[in-house]
Structure 1
């Protein structure tokens, strides 16, 4: 029997990268999945890819903004309306966020970074937790950037650190109801958000990790499948690092933030379909 046979999941940011790989893995493990994504075009393409792979009846799609409470509630309700239950919530949606010097960062870019990366996780925990009843697994995508300095921009790192802290506190509240709350902290993973259409953008970072291969979305999906299953029944409040050993090296292994040194500031909106932007600074 498949590990997640009969389970129902919601995956935010499920149309590409880590999110889509996780949808594929959950379906392969027997789960039915509601995909949410802001980018309607990639969302529909993801559903078609799943249908082509023989999982047409195992997926559904709700498009919208994970920072909007009504959308998050609707996505969780869709799972219950379609399949009668909600067992797994993978709160994965994200953007690169605000980058550049703190002294030059626009307040609206900082706030939007936290909306996409942290408020979305709060809303996912809130609305999944309400609907899970007695038992379930909530997993958030954090980052090694949230575990120390130098692994990401200021806003991204701070927002992911908040996700890690929220994971712990939510696990304390929801544990008595047998709802487990954990996070996954990826390292350098080959996704559109990370390489921005050019795989060579990851070469310098990958060269610093002990493991010789570049991390793939499927590596994160494998960790998700474990945390979502009964194999992890006694695991909650944890952040599982999946980074090819990158953090096992010295704390400054990633060096200074290259975007900060590039003399630019702006907002990276990743694969949301919204336009990213930057401006040059005097640095």
Structure 2
């Protein structure tokens, strides 16, 4: 993992660019909207609820991201897209493996609203982004927002689904000059986690700000590569190297001012680097951000707790 230092100075002017931010009216989405707009981009805030505050150069389009027709209509309002941030997500009953019976003793279908919004909605957002960028012929950037905190099985499903989209699509989309990256926020002070703040405080969990996550998101959309992530099955002269200078296939984990890129070491592990205790455990601790090492191990073996502290 590579520790990053990200500030607004690392983000160039985006005059003339058009960005869509799902869930863009509050929390992380609003922070992302404000950063994009401050750099000159025109932003379409795609959300069910109106914005918590007005933002210059930004417009709200009421949208249900779990509905294809609703999401498609929002893209039509934008007309042109250079940057798409799939940030919208909801909290709900993620314990869909639990059994609930109706009055006759029959198993009740589990609630799927979280899956529809956090997985299906992201997939539809990617599809629309690719379709528009392909038609425009000028490429673009897609940034997915996962979650750096996982406790319930359903949360792990969402995390791995988004991570899987990133890892599966990066070598294909780059053929059309489209990059795809992701950001996985740790505990962040937003309305979604307000009810859990006492529990996080009791465990001394560090809490980041929406602005910090927004910086990571916008940085992911515009960053240039310092070193290439090799894509298995491709040659240096192949399509995977077509956009050698653009950031692609990366994921940034954020937590209270700390930023760490995780995908480079993932590929290193896939090439045969692993330890007895689990993936990544034999990486030199001194050369990795401690918290990022922790979250890496937790993602790969399905844990997220404080045992590595």
TM tier, shorter chain?
0.7 to 0.9
**Number of residues of Structure 1 aligned to a counterpart in Structure 2:** 229
Is the 1:97–1:156 Cα contact (8 Å) retained in structure 2?
Answer: no
Q: Distance in 1 between matches of 2:58 and 2:72?
A: 18
Alignment of structure 1 residues 26-65 onto 2, 5 Å:
26-39=36-49, 43-46=50-53, 49-50=54-55, 55=56, 58-65=57-64
Change (3 A) 1:107 1:238: farther
Q: Distance in 2 between matches of 1:36 and 1:152?
A: 28
Of Structure 1 and Structure 2, the greater helix share is in 1
Map residues 232-271 of structure 1 onto 2, 5 A cutoff.
233-243=245-255, 244=258, 246-249=291-294, 251=298, 252=303, 254=305
The SS at the match of 2:15 is: coil
- Tell me by how many angstroms 1:178 deviates: 1.0
CA distances 1:140-166 after superposition (whole Å, capped 9, x unpaired): 111124xxxxx2322122012101101
Give the Cα separation in 1 of the matches to 2:19 and 2:153: 32
How far did residue 8 of structure 1 move?
Answer: 0.5
Q: Give ranges in structure 1 of 5+ residues lacking alignment.
A: 146-150, 257-283
Report the Cα offset of residue 220 of structure 1. Answer: 0.7
Shift of 1:70: 1.1
Q: 2:188: which partner in 1?
A: 189
Distance 1:246 1:186 in 2: 12
Contact kept, 8 Å, 2:95 with 2:154, in 1: the verdict is no
Flag as ranges the 4+ runs of structure 1 deviating above 4 A. none
For residues 162 and 212 of structure 2, the distance between their equivalents in structure 1, rounded to whole angstroms, comes to: 20
Q: Which residue of 1 aligns with 2:110?
A: 108
Residue 217 of structure 1 aligns with which residue? 210
Residue in structure 1 matched with residue 94 of structure 2 by the alignment? 99
Question: Any gaps of 5 or more consecutive residues in structure 2?
Answer: 1-10, 101-107, 226-244, 259-289
CA distance in 1, matches of 2:42, 2:18: 5
Asked if structure 2 preserves the Cα contact closer than 8 Å seen for 1:117 and 1:160, the reply is no
Q: CA deviation at 1:183?
A: 0.9
Contact 2:94 2:114 (C-alpha < 8 Å) held by counterparts? no
In the alignment, the residues of structure 2 paired with residue 188 and residue 17 of structure 1 have an alpha-carbon distance, to the nearest angstrom, of 12
2:136 is equivalent to residue 141 of structure 1: no
SS class of match (1:90): strand
Q: Report if aligned partners of 1:195, 1:201 keep a CA contact under 8 Å in 2.
A: no
Give yes or no for contact 1:168–1:181 (8 Å, CA) kept in 2.
Answer: no
Matched-pair contact (CA < 8 Å) for 2:139–2:176: yes
SS at match of 2:93: strand
- 1:155 and 1:189 map into 2 onto residues whose CA distance is 19
For the structure 1 residues 100 and 121, does the alpha-carbon distance in structure 2 shift closer, same or farther, using more than 3 Å as the test? Answer: closer
Is the partner of 2:144 in helix, strand or coil?
A: strand
Question: Normalising by structure 1, what TM-score?
Answer: 0.73
Deviation at 1:247, TM superposition (A): 4.2
Partner of 1:273: none
Q: Give me the TM-score of the superposition, normalised by structure 2.
A: 0.68
Aligned equivalents of 2:169 and 2:191: distance in 1?
Answer: 30
C-alpha displacement at 1:72, in angstroms?
A: 1.4
Following superposition, the deviation at residue 96 of structure 1 comes to 1.7
2:79 aligned with 1:69: no
CA-based RMSD: 2.4
**What residue in structure 1 maps to residue 178 of structure 2?**
179
Aligned partners of 1:99 and 1:155 also within 8 Å: yes
